[in-house]
Amino acid sequence: MLILWEHPLSPYAQKNKIALREKGVEFEARTPMGIGSGTALEDFERMNPRREVPVLHDGDFSLFDSRLILEYIEDRWPEPPLLPRDPRERAAARTIEEVMDRHYEPLNWALGEIHYFQRASGELKERLVAAAADDARRLQGWLEERLSDRAWFGGDRFGWADLSVVPYLNGSRGFELGPAAGSPLARWLERANERPTVSATAAEAAAAVAGMSGVAKLVASGRFRRQYRDHRLEWMIRSGGFEVVRDGLERDNIRFNRFP
């Protein structure tokens, strides 16, 4: 049985789920106990000492990191291909994935910190929300340049770059920072969300959002410790949220990776 350890709100896990579904590969999605607390099941930690999702478990083989998992999925189940044939187009698709994972992800993540986990209020909240909105507009403009007049980022078929973008834009839309109505990027997002592979994944994320009530109390109590990966920490400090980090360190409700 192929198992994908994930959380429905993780955009990293979402792109892996979309890829598996696009290829028609059956899998079981599981969420590890203790995720978000800084502790997890011992078996899960053996698969990923980073204690983060996603992790793909294929028989006696386990792999972590969403990009490596995506590469494995493409190699393991080559049809239908998600990457274009042309080397430059393949590199362009991977570049889009890199930008989304490292530069777009932290602004959505920060908005979750603010709205769900209530780490900022008043003027600080306004400053961070404004910074996220500015980054979203700038990065969406960059995406529109890459999309140009094509139906999909890879040309005439949905593929690697598209599934790397859609979880993040759906996330931004949930914070009312989606692409401008009627724009080429907004029309692309509508097309992407019409795909059964995407709509199923988005529905799972929406259901998880409904269960987010009360998580701020868990953070305040220290029972839920959010992971500040390198790009998230950089974004928060660069955007004027140093006191969010300082407060999290004092309250011991943020955590950092340690490997192994």
pLDDT tens-place string over residues 195-254 = 999 999 999 999 998 877 778 887 777 777 888 989 999 999 999 999 999 999 999 999
pLDDT tens-place string over residues 76-132 = 999 999 999 999 999 999 999 999 999 999 999 999 999 999 999 999 999 999 999
CATH of domain 87-210: 1.20.1050.10
* Buried b or exposed e, range 151-176, using 16+ CB within 10 angstroms: ebbbeeebbbbbbbbbbbbbbbebbe
Question: Where do the structural domains in the chain lie, given as residue ranges?
Answer: 2-76, 87-210
Residue owning tokens 């603010």:
114
Confidence band of 35 (pLDDT split at 50, 70, 90):
low
pTM of the model: 0.94
Calculate the average pLDDT of the chain.
Answer: 92
Structure tokens that stand for 156 in this block: 């005439």
Q: Among 32-36, 90-94, 105-109, 189-193, which is the least confidently predicted range?
A: 32-36
Task: Give pLDDT, residue 189.
Answer: 98
Q: What order do you get walking across the sheet with 55-58 strand by strand?
A: 28-30, 2-5, 55-58, 61-64
Q: For residue 119, which of 226, 212, 255 has the smallest C-alpha distance?
A: 226
Fold of 2-76: Glutaredoxin (3.40.30)
Query: What mean pLDDT comes out for the span 181-204?
Result: 98
**Of all residues in the chain, what percent carry a pLDDT higher than 90?**
80
Query: What mean pLDDT comes out for the span 138-167?
Result: 97
Q: d(Cα 125, Cα 170) in Å, to the nearest integer?
A: 22
| Phi, psi torsion values for 197, nearest 5 degrees | -65, -35
Torsion angle defined by CA atoms of residues 90, 93, 95 and 98, in that order, rounded to the nearest 10 degrees: -130
